[in-house]
């Protein structure tokens, strides 16, 4: 279990702010990156770090802007799986690799998953 608060504010998982986290914080960051790549905007914004941290802890995201019009529902569902505030509800790395949206673009046969 890691216990230091480290990272760039927009990528920090809610549990990192509480200084009690594990590898699932990396899945959160992947969700932030994916959201930003697909929309051009990070999902949690604010005028300063404290406002960003507040938004992160609330975890409320929408896909209402015009930038989401051409983005598939599968991509949006995948992002939501990655950006669950509760790390217990967040998908694992193996679940992420098995997600339908990932398999659409990689082909199920190209990913070797072992536990």
Q: Where exactly are the structural domains of the chain? A: 9-110
Q: Rounded distance, CA 103 to CA 69, Å?
A: 22
- Topology classification of domain 9-110: Transferase(Phosphotransferase); domain 1 (1.10.510)
pLDDT grade for 13, boundaries at 50, 70 and 90: very high
Global pTM reads 0.86
Give residue-wise pLDDT tens across range 35-80. Answer: 999 999 999 999 999 999 999 999 999 999 999 999 999 999 999 9
Given a contact cutoff of 8 angstroms between Cβ atoms, the answer to whether 71 and 39 are in contact is yes
The two three-digit tokens of residue 74, written as one number: 């599968």
| Res 113: pLDDT | 60
């Amino acid at each position: 279990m890691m216990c230091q608060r480290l990272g760039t504010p927009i990528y920090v998982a809610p549990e990192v702010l509480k200084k009690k986290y594990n590898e699932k914080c990396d899945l959160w960051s992947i969700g932030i990156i994916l959201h930003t790549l697909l929309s051009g905007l990070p999902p949690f914004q604010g005028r300063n770090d404290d406002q960003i941290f507040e938004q992160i802890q609330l975890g409320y995201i929408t896909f209402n802007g015009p930038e989401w019009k051409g983005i598939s529902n599968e991509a949006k569902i995948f992002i939501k799986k990655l950006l669950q505030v509760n790390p217990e509800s967040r998908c694992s790395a193996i679940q992420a690799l098995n997600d339908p949206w990932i398999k659409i673009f990689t082909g199920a046969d190209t990913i070797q998953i072992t536990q």
